[in-house]
Amino acid sequence: MKKRDDLDTFYSHIMSSLMAVEEKENFPRYFYNSFLAGENIVYQKSISEIKKFNDDWIATLETYFPSIDRIISQPFSTLRYDEEIVPIEKAKKVNSTSIRHLAANSHLIKEIKDGEVIPKKILTSQSEIEYGIYENRFIMTLINRLISFLSNRYEVVKSNIESYERKHLNLRSNFNIFNSEVAMDIDVVLKNDIEDSDVKEQSKIYLGRVTNLTRMVSGYKNSPFMRMMEEQKPVKPPIMKTNIILKNPDFRNAYNLWLFLDHCDSVFYDIDVEERDLDIAPAYMYNLNQIALITYALVLYNQNLLKKEYDASNLIKYERKATKLVKSHAKDVVDNPSAIVIEDNTINEYYLEQNKRVFKQKLDELLGEDVPYEQALKSALTQTIGITNSLFQSVFDMAAEEEIMDAVEKKNLVDKLVETKKKARIAQLIRETKEADYKESVNLEKQQMKEISRINTRIIKESSKIRRQLKDQARRQRLNQSLKATRQDRDSAKDKSKKLTENMKAVKDKVETAILQEEKKINEQLLRQAEKELISAEKARARAERQEVMKRLKEERKQALENERRRFQEHRNLIRDKFKEMKSKILDFEKKRREQEILLLREKYRKMREQEVARIKTHHSQTIQST
């Protein structure tokens, strides 16, 4: 209330002082006569703008968040086996792998006593729970994307959520006074927040929902799951559709949320506008005339007071263009609400899925027409490459040879040479890109041929292994038949020995015991020999496969890095060339335009000066004649 009282007091003092001066002096009456005789336009309007944001994206996130909660509360895991060679005293548990390793590394055996092997050290394995699987890394990357996604939208919504009311006053006047033409434009805009409880409540609810989502994602970021995964590497698109992602409902929702983040890169809103034309009372109009009086008096007085300094200052020539009478003011035009673009998702998982769907649809159409699979695949790939080539021609204006020859006859040869060199450079870049893609296709074909060779080698090894097993089985069968024949002979001998004395029976028992022990030793030796051969063959096969896989992975990684580095350098050089070319064109065009404007201004000012000098001379001569 204090501020309002101060304003009333100030207004009363100013008006009373101004009216007293108007009664005493003649200048105000002379100004009002000239001012009211001119063309005066007064404009006053009240405009209310209420922004209403679209909350569909909030509802979508709220739908998918329960799945994220369930995933991070019970993450998937797998077992990781860590192998270590330890002294036999520290070994807690051994398995078949430990036996095979000991058989292949005889230097770890301490001694063999009474047929028992006593090792110095032995291979042990410990199982630990591993959470760094691909699916958990996918969820970790998704949560980090959500943090950036929501923080950007929170700042945008927070800075644009307020609704306001604008009151706009504009006074334009054109009049003649003291042999001068005066153009006056007084523009005042008052902007206040709308005191509407319903609007504020809706805005508060919308911002509260965004804030709640932001807090939930912050909770995900500080959860034990994210602390456990902080050392893991994030995944990169395209996302691999593993069995867990495809079949688990929560992970499938997480994948759909990833696609939604790729697709949703803007925040949409509507604007409700209310306009009211405000009338101007006579007293208010009189005050506006007084504002014009004070404005003109201040400007004219200071112009006369500082005339010598202004005359001594640097002269600036300019052209004054004619004004246009409009029925509406540019500041009061409410623009159509356009979406606020936050992320640039030009190429992402969403558009990749769309391209894959179109390609599969074209392939299915060709297969439905009873076209062989290879021919249908070639046709679909040819059409896809044709679309890319058409894109190059449409974007870079790659005209045909006949059109170029026609254009050369009509345009300047130098300009056409520059343009043709540019197109040749673009064609070179396209050719280099296609060569890189061709090399990648050749590498992919080589990888598949290597995979075929590896599978054939594995089949041969498996066949050899099966043959060895069959041989071992046949040898065991022969041994069993021999033992069976021995047992039959033993039984026949037993029948004949019934007639012998009890002493001979004791001798026979000893012989049978010796035969059984010898039989047991032979079987153990055969089994041990077969196990050693199997272990050595398995070790050799595993070593060869590991070397081949490591070599192939190194070559693939090296080739991928080289291709990625080459594509990045080519793209950067292309952008730099385009920027330099556009910059030079803009500077040349601006320089020519400014030179033309300066020439026009000089010519117009010269004519105005000649007219003014002629008018002053005429006026001076008329004054002399009248005197």
The predicted structure's pLDDT at residue 250: 92
Q: Pick the residue with more confidence: 366 or 453?
A: 453
pLDDT digits (tens, 9 = 90+) for 559-577: 888 888 888 888 888 888 8
The predicted structure's pLDDT at residue 404: 43
Q: Pick the residue with more confidence: 170 or 272?
A: 170
* pLDDT at 147 exceeding the cut of 60: yes
Compute the distance between CA of residue 627 and CA of residue 616 in angstroms, rounded to an integer.
16
Dump strand ranges (E) for 150-228. Answer: 164-177, 180-193
* pLDDT at 184 exceeding the cut of 80: yes
> What is the chain's mean pLDDT, rounded?
77
* pLDDT at 399 exceeding the cut of 80: no
Please state, for a pLDDT cut of 90, what percent of the chain lies above it. 2
Strands 269-277 and 164-177: unpaired
How many other β-carbons are positioned within 10 Å of the β-carbon of residue 401?
A: 7
Strands 109-113 and 116-119: antiparallel
> What would the two tokens of residue 171 be?
């006074």
Q: What is the mean pLDDT of residues 401-430?
A: 65
Provide the phi-psi class of 162: left if phi over 0, else alpha when psi is between -120 and 50, else beta. Answer: beta
472 to 401, 483, 530: CA distances (angstroms): 76, 16, 8
End-to-end, the C-alpha distance of the chain in Å comes to: 64
Min mean pLDDT across 245-254, 347-356, 370-379 is at 347-356
pLDDT digits (tens, 9 = 90+) for 276-297: 777 888 888 888 888 888 888 8
For residue 193, the cross-strand partners are 164
How many other β-carbons are positioned within 10 Å of the β-carbon of residue 132?
A: 15
The predicted structure's pLDDT at residue 394: 57
> What would the two tokens of residue 165 be?
């009311």
Residue 258 burial (10 A CB sphere; 0-12, 13-18, 19+): buried
Going by pLDDT thresholds of 50, 70 and 90, the confidence category of residue 403 is: very low
546: number of CA atoms within 13 Å, CB side? 6
Threshold 0.85, pTM exceeds = no
Is the distance from CB of 458 to CB of 544 less than 8 angstroms? no
| Dmax (CA) of the chain | 183
Going by pLDDT thresholds of 50, 70 and 90, the confidence category of residue 5 is: low
3-state secondary structure of 316: coil
The predicted structure's pLDDT at residue 162: 67
Q: What is the mean pLDDT of residues 593-616?
A: 88
Compute the distance between CA of residue 293 and CA of residue 317 in angstroms, rounded to an integer.
29
Query: Helix 56-73 and helix 249-263: axis angle, to 10°?
Result: 140
pLDDT digits (tens, 9 = 90+) for 493-509: 667 666 666 666 666 67
The predicted structure's pLDDT at residue 315: 60
**Most confident among 115-119, 158-162, 312-316 (mean pLDDT):** 115-119
The predicted structure's pLDDT at residue 298: 86
* pLDDT at 145 exceeding the cut of 50: yes
Min mean pLDDT across 83-92, 341-350, 354-363, 529-538 is at 341-350
Residue located via tokens 């033409």: 181
Backbone torsions φ then ψ of 193, nearest 5 degrees: -70, 150
The predicted structure's pLDDT at residue 17: 82
3-state secondary structure 546-565: HHHHHHHHHHHHHHHHHHHH
Q: What is the mean pLDDT of residues 42-56?
A: 76
DSSP code string of 45-105: EEEEEEEEE--HHHHHHHHHHHHHHHHHHS---EEEEEEEEEETTT-----HHHHHHHHH-
Please state, for a pLDDT cut of 70, what percent of the chain lies above it. 75
**Residue type, position 366, single letter:** L
Cis peptide before 238 (omega within 30 of 0): yes
